[in-house]
């Protein structure tokens, strides 16, 4: 049986040296990386049976970035992350959808070796997880997002005082969601230039004519963000965590920008007085 090949990623040099020696004494072939970029280069260039990675390195989400890269490049590799924060054990559901296990420092050497060997022994193709980008998940779940949003609206007595049907309420959403997916598929820059949204401007004009107040439009927009994030929550097993933090910020930024553009035409359009 060949010696398992393991990639150890930790920005703490002392931890890296110590763990490497321990693992090699326990018959592992160990390569090390001190940060994300070095780890990614090795993941692309070599095949590994195991990834052992610190969750908390200098950059936000560094550990999950490495795990996600390993999942894509070498999906059958065992992925283990460790953290110095004991409370992580109570809040790791999302992380465990990407990694096979999360360990808490200080690491017990016998337990660490036992976990690695157990995972290697039970490794099967069925354990491989297939991830998707946030953009693809949202595009594939337009109907679910819209239905979730409409349910929230129907439970809001102030919004339901506006006498329009469900199709009129939701008519703007497919294009707004399409604009959001387009934004997510572009190079991410939350502080970048916003594009003109014809759908958002038309939405503001229609809502003014339908008798909405500014506060009701803002509430609808808030519900849209909640519905989008609920859809992501429901699909955590499919989410590619390597960009999820940036994607979440982009979603919030884009929905807010759509609201701003809708409010521009809302304020410019003559209001319609509803009959008492």
List, for residues 99-125, the tens digit of each pLDDT value.
677 777 777 888 889 989 888 888 754
The first and second tokens of residue 163, run together, are: 């006498």
pLDDT band at 160 (very low <50, low <70, confident <90, very high): very high
The first and second tokens of residue 191, run together, are: 């502080």
Report the number of distinct structural domains present in the chain: 2
> Are 102 and 169 part of one and the same domain?
no
Per-range mean pLDDT, top range of 36-45, 94-103, 188-197, 241-250:
36-45
The answer to the question of residue 274 being in a domain is: no
In the chain, DSSP finds a helix count (H) and a strand count (E) of: 13, 5
Q: Which domain holds residue 184?
A: 134-268
> Are 122 and 144 part of one and the same domain?
no
* DSSP tag of 132: B
Per-residue model confidence (pLDDT) at position 128: 52
> Are 120 and 146 part of one and the same domain?
no
The answer to the question of residue 204 being in a domain is: yes
Averaged pLDDT for residues 70-98:
66
Give buried/exposed letters for 99-114 (b at 16+ CB in 10 A, else e).
Answer: bbbbbeeebeeeebbe
Give the Cβ contact number of residue 28 at 10 Å: 21
Domain containing residue 230: CATH number: 1.10.490
> Are 208 and 91 part of one and the same domain?
no
244-268 vs 173-184: helix crossing angle, rounded to 10: 140
> Are 109 and 188 part of one and the same domain?
no
> Are 140 and 122 part of one and the same domain?
no
Sign of CA dihedral 196, 202, 208, 213: negative
Contact criterion met (CB below 8 Å) for 101 and 80 = yes
Domain boundary residue among 85, 107, 127? 127
> Are 14 and 114 part of one and the same domain?
yes
The answer to the question of residue 245 being in a domain is: yes
Asked whether the predicted pLDDT for residue 21 surpasses 90, the reply is yes
> Are 123 and 140 part of one and the same domain?
no
> Are 49 and 147 part of one and the same domain?
no
Averaged pLDDT for residues 213-221:
95
* DSSP tag of 90: G
| Percent of all residues in the chain with a pLDDT value above 90, rounded to a whole number | 48
> Are 108 and 141 part of one and the same domain?
no
> Are 45 and 115 part of one and the same domain?
yes
202 vs 129: CA distance, rounded Å: 41
> Are 177 and 94 part of one and the same domain?
no
* Host H or E run for residue 182: helix 173-184
The answer to the question of residue 143 being in a domain is: yes
Contact criterion met (CB below 8 Å) for 247 and 188 = yes
Domain boundary residue among 127, 152, 185? 127
Domain boundary residue among 87, 106, 127? 127
The answer to the question of residue 57 being in a domain is: yes
């Amino acid at each position: 049986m060949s010696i398992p090949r393991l990639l150890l990623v930790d920005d703490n040099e002392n931890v890296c040296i110590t763990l490497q020696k321990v693992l090699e004494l326990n018959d592992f072939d160990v390569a090390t990386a001190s940060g994300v970029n070095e780890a990614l280069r090795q993941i692309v260039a070599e095949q590994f049976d195991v990834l052992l990675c610190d969750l908390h390195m200098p950059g936000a989400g560094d550990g999950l970035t490495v795990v996600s890269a390993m999942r894509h490049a070498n999906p059958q590799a065992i992925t283990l992350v460790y953290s110095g924060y004991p409370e992580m054990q109570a809040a790791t559901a999302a992380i465990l959808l990407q990694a096979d296990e999360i360990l808490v420092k200080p690491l017990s050497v016998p337990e660490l070796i036992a976990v690695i060997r157990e995972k290697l022994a039970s490794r099967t193709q069925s354990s491989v997880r297939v991830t998707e980008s946030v953009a693809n998940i949202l595009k594939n779940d337009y109907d679910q997002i819209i239905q979730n949003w409409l349910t929230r609206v129907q439970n809001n007595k102030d919004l339901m005082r506006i006498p329009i049907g469900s199709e009129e309420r939701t008519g703007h959403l497919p294009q707004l969601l399409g604009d959001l997916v387009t934004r997510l598929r572009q190079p991410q820059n939350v502080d970048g230039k916003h594009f003109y949204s014809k759908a958002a401007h038309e939405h503001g004009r229609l809502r003014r004519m339908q008798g909405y107040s500014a506060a009701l439009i803002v509430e609808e927009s808030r519900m849209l963000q909640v519905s989008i994030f609920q859809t992501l929550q429901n699909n955590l097993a499919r989410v590619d965590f390597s960009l999820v933090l940036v994607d979440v910020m982009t979603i919030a930024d884009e929905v807010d920008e759509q609201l701003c553009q809708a409010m521009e035409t809302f304020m410019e359009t003559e209001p319609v007085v509803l009959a008492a």
